[in-house]
Amino acid sequence: MKEQLRLLPAVHMIQADPRFKMAAEESDFTESGLTVIVQDILNDLRERILNGEYVGCETKEKMIDLIFQKIGDHITTNGSFELKPVINATGVVIHTNLGRSRLSEDALKQMNRVARHYSNLEYNLSEGKRGSRHDLVDGLLQDITGAEAAMVVNNNAAAVFLVLRALAKDRSVVVSRGELVEIGGSFRVSSIMEESGAHLTEVGTTNKTHLHDYDAAIDEWTAMLMKVHTSNFKVVGFTDSVQTEKLVELASRYENLLTYEDLGSGALYDFEKEGIGDEPLVSKVIATGVDLITFSGDKLLGGPQCGVIAGKKALIDKLKKHQLARVLRVDKFTLAALEATLVAYKYGQIDEIPTVRDILRSAEDIKIQAERFISKASKLTNLSMDLLESTSRIGGGTMPEVELPTYVVSVRPERLTSEELFNALRSAEIPVIGRIKEEQVILDLRTVTQEEEDEIIRTLESISV
């Protein structure tokens, strides 16, 4: 019995084991939460040994293994939140069903600091009086986009709604028929317009709309000319649409006629320069002189869910004062994460933004990772793996025609069907989401970090394939 008691490790020995840190990172428990669990496990073992029970370990290593097994069991039975991390092995970078963008380390740190402490969310520190949350990222957005002013609301749908409601209610908004899009099954330009109380005036046809179509539709009820970026589809063939510059020029011939463009994705980085798609750069659109633009925070920008409205100061000021701005306002965590993400843009540290980094990853880089993955997995029996050339999509209704060259790992189980393996991966403690193609499970590591890569191996190991 004494022998067995001596084999019980001290808590700090468990804490120093790399498996402890890993368990904290990968479970819903913090390190201090896990320490409490470790203490419970040690107390329980001590009690059992004192009761004369043999716990089945002859060496200290075995005892430590047993403790980690018990920690694992505890996590499995007690630590499951409804909303939890998953590993995105689809290669779709902005996967709306999987939470769109991952945040940068700096954004996470900023959110954490703002959550842990009180903050100057609505307190002007230089004047010692009430401030506005709308002003916190206004300056950064001005620097990056070149706009006179900017504000942030709950998401881009909210941004569109606020612009239409506050500036075009009971008046008409002219939109090209080629731009009356539906995005993600729930955002429809025509429906949001109706909800906002603005009246839609459709002009042109699905494939062609000319400047004179807009001109002919303008009357005393017209509040604005609106352009919508057709994010998630492309009309090919004989098409024609009117450039933002032309609309701005047309609107300037009338009094109090606004121009507004809903950009959707909102690229702050010039992907086109890298040969990826033709997404308009936000700063270039602002430079056309357009009165207002809106775009998402968690699509190409790679920040938290939010919607940015940028443009002329007088209009932004009006929007900030609107009652709806209060209804649609963002919380401090969103502002913290957005600010940190924008700072990375300002200083050109775009590699720190996971969404941008993953879109820019070269096929060569992914190939190296995939080869490493396959060699690590070679110890697994009953599975065969191959490296295949393929393409990844950007997702989030962004640049639908773009295919990013990649290498994928095709996994073929010997005992299970590919469907069974796919389901087992999805049901793992940290679910792994891949796709099935022709009796293989396909894993695209474009969106998988090195730590996640090891987790996938562990998961494959634990599924008896």
Ligand X SMILES: *Cc1c(COP(=O)(O)O)cnc(C)c1O
User: Least distance to ligand X from the beta carbon of 185, Å?
Assistant: 11
337, 303 contact by CB (below 8 A): yes
Q: Which is nearer to ligand X, 152 or 385 (CB)?
A: 152
Identify the helix (H) or strand (E) that includes residue 325. helix 323-327
Q: Choose between 203 and 300: whose C-beta lies nearer to ligand X.
A: 300
Place of tokens 């804490």: 15
The whole-angstrom separation of Cα 204 and Cα 421 is 50
The CB-of-374 to ligand X minimum distance in angstroms stands at: 36
Q: What is the per-residue DSSP string for 188-239?
A: EHHHHHHHHTPEEEEES-SSB--HHHHHHH--TTEEEEEEE--TT----SS-
Nearer to ligand X among residue 52 and residue 185 (C-beta): 185
Output 262 or 291, the one with its CB closest to ligand X: 262
Query: Of the two residues 74 and 95, which places its CB atom closer to ligand X in the complex?
Result: 95
Shortest spacing between CB 204 and ligand X, in angstroms = 18
Provide the 10 A C-beta neighbour count for residue 11: 14
Kindly state the smallest distance separating residue 149's Cβ from ligand X, in Å.
Answer: 20
The least distance separating ligand X from the CB of residue 122, rounded to whole angstroms, comes to 24
Q: How far is the CB of 184 from ligand X (least distance, A)?
A: 6
Closest to ligand X by CB, 394 vs 409, is 394
Q: Tell me which amino acid residue 14 is.
A: I
Q: Which is nearer to ligand X, 153 or 443 (CB)?
A: 153
User: What is d(CA 104, CA 110) in angstroms, rounded to the nearest whole number?
Assistant: 10
Closest C-alpha among 446, 18, 107 to residue 304:
107
The residue number whose beta carbon is nearest to ligand X equals 264
> Among residues 264 and 311, whose Cβ is nearest to ligand X?
264
Neighbours of 383 (CB within 10 A): 19
Four-CA torsion 338, 340, 342, 346, nearest 10 degrees: 170
Residues in the chain: 465
- Pick between residue 157 and residue 394 the one whose CB is nearest to ligand X: 157
Q: How far is the CB of 345 from ligand X (least distance, A)?
A: 18
| Count of beta carbons in the 10 Å neighbourhood of residue 264 | 26
Q: Is 295 helix (H, G, I), strand (E, B) or coil?
A: strand
> Minimum distance from CB of 293 to ligand X (Å)?
11
Name the one residue in this structure whose structure tokens are 């769109």: 100
Q: Which residues contribute to the site for ligand X (CB under 6 A)?
A: 155-157, 160, 183, 187, 228-229, 231, 262, 264-265, 296, 307, 397
Task: Tell me how far apart the alpha carbons of residues 162 and 321 are, in angstroms, rounded to a whole number.
Answer: 11
Minimum Å gap between C-beta 297 and ligand X is 7
Cβ-proximal residues to 255 (8 Å cutoff; 6+ apart), any chain: none
DSSP string, 384-411: EEEEEEEEE--BTTSSTT--EEEEEEEE
Instruction: Provide the 10 A C-beta neighbour count for residue 439.
Output: 11
Cβ neighbours of 213 (radius 10 Å): 17
Q: CB 189 → ligand X: shortest distance, Å? A: 7
Nearer to ligand X, 266 or 354 (CB): 266
The label of the residue with tokens 């987790």 reads 455
Minimum CB–partner distance for residue 307 and ligand X (Å): 5
Q: What are phi and psi of 351, to 5 degrees?
A: -65, -20
Closer CB to ligand X, 303 or 434, in the complex: 303
- In what helix (H) or strand (E) does residue 153 lie, and over which residues does it extend? strand 149-153
- How many angstroms separate the CA atoms of 349 and 428, rounded? 34
